A and B are shown apart, each in its own frame.
Chain A
C-alpha cells in the first residue's frame, strides 16, 4: 500500500531518466545513506549494539564495502558488457601493489639505458587512484583478446592474467620492496594531513569511495557508453551496425572495470588487511567476486551489493549462529556446516532465480506495487 507510484507524474525527461524515478525509492535511498554515513559511525562511537565492538565494522562492514566495490567493477565487465573475466583477483592485486609502490616510492633502475626512473613516495589518495590507472592499463592489455574470442574461451584467457600476476608478485621482489617474506605492510593512510586510524574512520573512507564509484558506475551504465556495452553483450552484430565499434566498447569496459576493481584491491590491502601477501589476491578471490556478481545479478549495480552481502556475510552468520544460540557444536563442525549450507543455498538460489538477487528484488517491487491485490 505504501509503495505506489500513482500520482507521481513526470513532466520532464530529466525526471523520467533519474536513477530512482519513484519517490519511495528515493526516500529509501536517503534513509540508507543516512544510516550508513551517520547511524553506523554514531552507533560504533557510542558502542551500541550491534556495533558494541570493533568486530562488526572491521570484519564485516569494511570488507563488505570493499568487495561490493570490486563486484560493481566486475559487473560492469561481465554483467553489462558480457565479457567473462576470471582475472579480477589479479586486477585487485595490481591495484594493491601499484598503490603500495607509489606510496612507498618507485625506483626502477634501467641499467641498459644507464638511467633510472625514480618517483618519490606519493600521498595515499593519488597512489590509490594511480593504482586504479595501472590496473586499467593492464585490463586493456588483457582485454585485447576479447576482440577475437568470446565466452568461456575468453574466461580462460583472463585466467592467464590471474596466474601470471600471482607469479609476478611472488617472484619479482621489486614489487614487494625486497621484503624477505614476500608480505608487505601498507604505510599509514593519510589524506590531506588527516590520519585514518580507527575502524570508524576507515569505514567512512571506504564508504566514501564506494558511494562515489557506485554513482559513477550507475551514470555510465545508464548513458551512451552503458548502452554500447549492453548492445555488444546482447547482439554484437547488430551493435556494430548501429555504429558501435566493438574495439572501443569492449576495451572501455575492460578499462573501467579494471580501474574500479584495482581501486577496490588497493582499499582491500590498505584499509582492510594492512599487511598482506600475494595469496590475498589468488584465484579464490576471483571466484569469490564471480559468485558475487552471479548471485547478485548480472547487469545490476544494486545486485552487486546484494551479492557481496550474501557471499560474505552468510558464512559469518552461519559461523556465529550456533554459538550465539547456545547450540553445543564444535568449531570444526560449524566450519564444515558453513561450507555445506552456503553451497546448498547458492544452488537453491540459482535454480529458483537464475538472474540473481537483483531480479528477486525487482519482482518483489512489482508485487509490492499491487499488494494486497494479486494483479
Chain B
C-alpha cells in the first residue's frame, strides 16, 4: 500500500478531482473579535474529493476559518453553504452530525481514555441504543458495541496503531497522539475532514507517514480534506488547490504551481522592501 500511494503522481488525479462538485462554499465571510478583524470577506470553495490547503503566515486567520466552518465561531457576515444547503446557527455537534470532522493544532484527545475508547467516541452519532439498553448491556447494546468496534478496528489497522489499542492516550508520544486524533476524526466517517496542522512538530518520518495516511484517506475513505499546514513541501505535494490568507484576507487561490508564482503570496511570506 505504501509504495503504491507514494509513487502515484499526485497531480494526475488532482486535475480529475478538482472537477468535482462543490461540497462547501464560503462566501464573503467576516469574523471579528471586538476590534480585531480575524477574517475579512473571505470566499473560497472546497470541491468533493479534493485536498484543499489553507496556508498563510501566523495570525492570518486559518484556524479561525476552520472554527467558522465547524461552528465554534459565528461569523458576523457572509454565507456558508455545505452540501448545497445554506447554514444557519451552526453548533459543533450539528456540524459533526452533518459530516464535518476535525483535528486540532494542539492535540485535543480525551487524555484519560484509551486509544480504542478515543476512537470509539467518534462512533457516538451512529449509536442508537437508549440508556436502558446500555444499562442492561447484554443483547442489543452489546451487538451494537461489537459492530462499531469492528469499524474502529478497521481504522486502527489502517493507521497502524494496533499495539497501543489499550494504552491511555496521555502516555503516548506526540506523533502517535496525532495519529489517534486522525483516527478519532475518521471514525465519524466524515464527508469533510478538517486537519489543523497535522504535521506540526513531527520529524521527517512521521510526516511521511501522515502524508501517506492523508492521501489514502482521500482515496479509500472517499473523504474531502481541508488542511492547514506550515510545511510548504508537504502542502505543495499533497494539495490539489491552495487558498492563501494574510491578515484575514484571501490573497491567492489556485493550484500549488499558481500559488507558488503569485507575487502577493511571496510578499506575504518574505515581506516587501520599504
The interface residues of chain B lying within 8 Å CB-to-CB of A252 are 131
A1 on interface, CB distance cutoff 8 Å:
no
In the complex, the answer to whether B93 meets A243 with C-beta atoms within 8 Å is yes
| Interchain pairs with CB closer than 8 A, number | 101
Chain A contact patch, size range:
20 to 34
The interface residues of chain A lying within 8 Å CB-to-CB of B113 are 227, 230-231, 234
The interface residues of chain B lying within 8 Å CB-to-CB of A240 are 91-93, 96
In the complex, the answer to whether A219 meets B112 with C-beta atoms within 8 Å is no
In the complex, the answer to whether B117 meets A230 with C-beta atoms within 8 Å is yes
Identity of the chain B residue whose Cβ is nearest the Cβ of A245 in the assembled complex: B93
Q: Tell which of B97, B112, B117, B136 touches A243, judged by Cβ atoms closer than 8 Å.
A: B97
The stretch that binds A, out of B5-13, B100-108, B199-207, B219-227, is B100-108
A contact patch SS: helix
A237 on interface, CB distance cutoff 8 Å:
yes
Identity of the chain B residue whose Cβ is nearest the Cβ of A228 in the assembled complex: B124
Query: Counting chain B CB atoms within 10 Å of each CB, which of A222, A228, A243, A256 scores highest?
Result: A243
The interface residues of chain B lying within 8 Å CB-to-CB of A239 are 110, 121
Which residues of chain B from 85 to 134 have a CB within 8 Å of any chain A CB? 91-93, 95-97, 101-102, 104, 108-113, 117, 120-125, 127, 129, 131, 134
Q: How far is the CB of A251 from chain B (nearest CB, A)?
A: 11
In the complex, the answer to whether A228 meets B121 with C-beta atoms within 8 Å is yes
Q: How far is the CB of A315 from chain B (nearest CB, A)?
A: 31
The interface residues of chain A lying within 8 Å CB-to-CB of B137 are 219, 222-223
Closest 7 pairs (CB-CB, A-B):
A243-B96, A234-B110, A219-B137, A243-B125, A238-B108, A240-B92, A223-B134
The interface residues of chain A lying within 8 Å CB-to-CB of B110 are 230-231, 233-235, 238-239
Q: How far is the CB of B168 from chain A (nearest CB, A)?
A: 10
Q: How far is the CB of A129 from chain B (nearest CB, A)?
A: 14
In the complex, the answer to whether A224 meets B129 with C-beta atoms within 8 Å is yes
Which residues of chain A from 178 to 197 have a CB within 8 Å of any chain B CB? none
Q: How far is the CB of A111 from chain B (nearest CB, A)?
A: 38
Identity of the chain B residue whose Cβ is nearest the Cβ of A240 in the assembled complex: B92
